[in-house]
Amino acid sequence: MAFELPPLPYANDALAPRGISAETIEYHYGKHHQAYVTMLNKLVEGTDHENATLEEVILAADAGPLFNNSAQVWNHTFYWKSMSPNGGGAPTGELADQINSAFGSLDGFKEKFAEAGTTQFGSGWAWLIQGDSGLEITKTANADLPLKHGQKALLTMDVWEHAYYIDFRNARPNYISNFLDNLINWDFAAANLAS
């Protein structure tokens, strides 16, 4: 069974009032994410991976096109869910407690998450993950992701240029602060923490 582009969890223009335009979504979801799905299907066709799950392909793949495309399908699906038209604000409950415990405060989390995204040289991702002794922030290059390192992701932010160049041009820090203040989907992170 072929891999499919998962539906976007909101309309193309739903994030526009919060800084991510419909044009960005049309390219980032409609072209980039779709291209990873299309390439992944070409790569697995006629191979042992044809009937595997996406996670199985990611875990089995060596560095190269199969890993890059399968991981990017997963990363983008997770990224769309990490943002919400009702995003931003503050976490609550157990997630808020763990944020405060790991980073001192919500502002402490934002500062460290922004630093991870800003200092990821070139293309990559910033992540909130569930570590062995509490929440942690990590960054990965290109298509790499926590799953490949045995880590559980709670949230991600794409810092490839295609994520921000239409709306924020070269100003990655502005894209990051907007993500943290206006887009971040705390309900998604809380659901991942509880799962």
Interface residue list for Mn ion (CB under 5 A): 158, 160
Rg of the chain on CA atoms, in Å: 16
Q: Which is nearer to Mn ion, 160 or 188 (CB)?
A: 160
Strand order in the sheet with 124-131: 134-141, 124-131, 152-158
Query: Residue with structure tokens 């697995």?
Result: 44
CB of 26 to Mn ion, least distance (A): 13
Residues whose CB falls within 8 Å of the CB of residue 145, separated by 6 or more in sequence, listed in order:
58, 71, 74, 75, 125, 127, 153, 156
CB of 47 to Mn ion, least distance (A): 25
CB of 21 to Mn ion, least distance (A): 15
Q: Which is nearer to Mn ion, 91 or 124 (CB)?
A: 124
Residue showing the smallest CB distance to Mn ion in the complex? 158
Residue 182 DSSP code: I
CB of 162 to Mn ion, least distance (A): 5
Q: Which is nearer to Mn ion, 71 or 95 (CB)?
A: 71
Round to whole Å and give the CA distance between 7 and 122.
28
Q: Which is nearer to Mn ion, 149 or 162 (CB)?
A: 162
Q: Which is nearer to Mn ion, 77 or 98 (CB)?
A: 77
CB of 185 to Mn ion, least distance (A): 17
Query: Tokens for 95?
Result: 């997630």
Query: Tokens for 170?
Result: 């070269």
